[in-house]
Structure formats: C-alpha cells, structure tokens
Amino acid sequence: MDFLGNHIEALIFCAQKPIKVDEIRNCLSEMFEADVPVKDIETTIEKVSEKYASDEYAFEIIHSGGGYQFLTKPAYQASIGILLKHQSKKRLSTSALETLSIIAYKQPVTKSEMEQIRGVNCDYSVQKLLEKELIEIKGKSEAIGRPMLYGTSDKFMDYFGINSLKDLPTPKDFAENENEIGPQETEEKAQE
C-alpha cells in the first residue's frame, strides 16, 4: 500500500458517513499543498477495496450514497446483531441521563438535591445508575437525616470516554447555533 493509500484509507475509516471523492481530494490537496488528481484517488480506492475484499478482514469498503465507507461484511451480521441487542439494553433513559448529568456536575449531591433540580422523584433513576455502576455512594451528608451523597464512578469515565471530570462540556460548549433558520427574537421583544 502506498503513502496516498494510507491517507485515503484513514479518511474513509474516520468519516461518519460515506465520504465522496471530492471530499477526499480536498483533504489530500490541503494536506499535501498540491492538487491530487481524481483518477489517482479512484485508482487508490480500488486498490484499498481489493485489499479488504479478502476473507482475512471482517469489513470492506462499500460505495454508497455517492461516497465510500467501511462496513462489516454480511457474514458477520448475526454476531453484530447480538452485540447491538446487548448494547441497547445498556442504553440510558432520558430521565437516567438527566439524573446522571446532575450528579456529574454537582457531585457530591443528595437525592433530594437532584429531585429539587429535576422537579420529579429520582429513586428509579438513581437505582438504575447504581446498578450500572455509573454512580457510587460517596458518603453521607451532614444535613438533617444524613442523606447519602452520590458521585460518578470510574466506569462513568469509561462509559463516556473521558479521563477526568474536567473533560465534561461546560455551558459555553452549548452556545446557540449561529446558523438557525427563521427570525430571531431579540431579548427586548421577548420581554414585551
């Protein structure tokens, strides 16, 4: 495999949807600061596709949606189906995610503090999060009744692919989109 092939293979691999030849060309042209001919890209994609057509690999390059992407081969559909079924059981409900978010940002936090923020009972969500080991009991509060304090676990970090609570998004990461459709109300109009 040549140098160009490695770059094309990496681009196809990391693309979240089928990547078009023009997109590949634009990336490579910027990378090498030179125009890369479409014919060279198409020839290289054919070579990479031939490589992955071998039974040695469980995935292959598929041309679909006007672009190229890696997909697993049909022979592995059954095992992938089982994995997806298992993963769907591990998904968190919206209420569990809301509760987990409160715990992550406010920890250590009591159940009554969570309920005050959410406005609903959090017993079920807290129980499910404890079962999934995404949160853990960090101790007891000094408040009346000494309620349990909850915080995130190491499994929480792994589940969300972060290394530290400092990696959690901050409010500025949720800034409004600049390219919204429709008229924008100003704050003064909204208060009228």
Is residue 190 scored above 80 in pLDDT?
no
Per the domain annotation, does 82 fall within a domain?
A: no
Q: How many domains does the chain have?
A: 2
CATH number for the domain spanning 138: value is 1.10.10.10
Q: Are residues 12 and 46 in the same domain?
A: yes
Q: Are residues 28 and 69 in the same domain?
A: yes
| 159 in a structural domain | yes
Does one domain contain both 14 and 52?
Answer: yes
**Lowest mean pLDDT across 16-20, 26-30, 50-54, 159-163:** 159-163
Domain boundary among 76, 105, 131: 76
Residue 116 lies inside a defined structural domain of this protein: yes
Q: Is the pLDDT of residue 185 over 80?
A: no
Confirm whether 179 is domain-assigned: no
Whether residue 98 is found in the same domain as residue 66: no
Shared domain check, 48 and 103: no
pLDDT at 27: 94
Buried/exposed code over 135-155 (b: 16+ C-beta within 10 A; e: otherwise): bbebeebeeeeeeebbbbbee
Whether 177 is covered by a domain: the verdict is no
- The last residue of a domain, from among 16, 46, 76: 76
For residues 53 and 111, state if they share a domain: no
**Residue 55 has what DSSP assignment?**
T
* Domain co-membership, 72 together with 12: yes
Residue 101 lies in a domain: yes
Judge whether residue 2 has pLDDT over 60: yes
Shared-domain flag, residues 67 and 100: no
CB 92 within 8 A of CB 144: no
- Which of 31, 48, 76 lies at the terminal end of a domain, its last residue? 76
Residue 171 has pLDDT above 80, yes or no: no
99 C-beta neighbours (distance < 10 Å), count: 29
**At which residue do the structure tokens 């092939």 appear?**
5
Q: What is the span of the domain harbouring residue 42?
A: 3-76
Would you place residue 162 in the very low, low, confident or very high pLDDT band (cuts 50, 70, 90)? confident
Over residues 125-143, the mean pLDDT reads 92
Look at residue 89 and tell me if it is in a domain.
no
Q: Is residue 107 part of a domain?
A: yes
Q: Are residues 98 and 168 in the same domain?
A: yes
> Taking a C-beta distance cutoff of 8 angstroms, is the pair 168, 162 a contact?
yes
pLDDT band at 166 (very low <50, low <70, confident <90, very high): confident
